[in-house]
Structure 1
Amino acid sequence: MLVTTKSSNSKILAIVIFIALFCTLALYPNVQAENHGVSLRIIEKTGDSEREHVYLLNKYPLEKITVEATGNILTVKQEDVVVMRVILKSSYYRIECNNKTFSKVNDKITFDLETGEQEEITIKIIYEMVTLTVDPIFKNVQVYINNIPRKSLKILKGRKACWAIDKGVVVLGQGFFRTELLAEKTSECITVDDDTIVKIKWVESPYVNTFKYGFLILLFVAIGEFAIILYSRRGKSRPENGKS
């Protein structure tokens, strides 16, 4: 009976030690992060959508960090040591941090951040957006921008965008007055740096024009021949009337 009691006590003690060790290991990273780390949140805002990245920086001997943005690369430095580098979506943006807005000067943004007792630093990158609009002229022509069925779309400034229309031929009128218009371009990829409007240019089909003009020429020739025949007959009938 004594052996059984000692065995059960040992099991209980082992379970208690295991639970205490597990809780210590589970809480240790959070304690370390709270005491020895600074959470750096980088938020990329594209139009109405946002994407967030979270990084953990060593707090000691971290007194300040330097943020540099050149082109499409964001760099975070501690003194002269690069601790983080992020590739951005575009080269056109502004940065908001600590209720301040930073814009590019000579194609570069540089500022220092005092960490102090902060546990979290948030850097917000707001990309510049431009609008690409495609005007097909005719309502029954569907427009696609970047494979999206839209006639107007906001895109990142400086990015390449592709547009296309679903038909390159438009028919107007009926019968002899039927006209076919051909689109000079049905698709194109362009780099958009500013708000841009693309108007589709339409030209008459050369085949329809050839048929029309050929038919008109034949019609005028036939009318001319008919007029000549009538005139010649009238000319012959006049002398006969004079003799009688």
Structure 2
Amino acid sequence: MVNKLLVQVTVCTLLFVFILNTFEKEAKVTNEFDLNKMNEVVIKHNGKITEWSIFAREELSNIDTQQLEEIYSHLKSQFPQFLWTKDINSDRINITGTVSDQSLHYVENLQIVANLNEKNIIHGFILYEIKGSKWNKNVQHVIKVKLDDISSNIFHKTTVFFSCLKGEFGDKIDGVIAKKSKEMVNDFKGKIIEKLEEKDFTSLTVQSPYFSYEMQTENGSFNVQIALRENGIDEKTTFVIGTPIITIEY
């Protein structure tokens, strides 16, 4: 089971990278309140959130080192509260800015990762991630302001924000996690596009009217994924919900 789970996580990660590379130019804006709808369903099923995240990425291509420095200077001036580090070697640049809020329990990361070719032309991306362990009205307000700021000051194309919730149900669901996951699908008024069901693990790819950004599979379009896993160690059931895909390891 452990090996299968590692394969599932690896496949999800590779799929996420592929989708970001493939669909970035065609992306439509989805809003941060995807997390609100997911949270409503979690509360209905007496779940507890342990982690949430919002993630976005934009490609950098065919720029030189001077242009990259201008981007870096702009980010530092727009986000002076971030702690910035820069690591440069002969063929790679990694710039990272980090800030956290202890009262609201979240961390923000801004990152520029770029590769240099022999002519010092850069190909890479800007990555933004905010993640935390509490989701409430105060956090929601702060996140809305931050994402508006990020959208106007960092990303210059139409950008998708990938939203994800992770948590647990208080008790083990006694081998019927497939039933529980389908109840959650019904709460999203969803249609199951693809599914993987095992004794202690279920993963569903779903089309729901509540979420705007859709992706395609051979079986149809989807915009939310749900995964549940029973943990035999502490007798709890963990869940992960992501729009349009799961981006947190599970």
TM-score category (smaller protein): under 0.3
Point out which structure has higher relative CO (alpha carbons under 8 A, 6+ apart): 2
Indicate the structure (1 or 2) with the bigger Cα radius of gyration.
1
TM-score by length of 2: 0.22
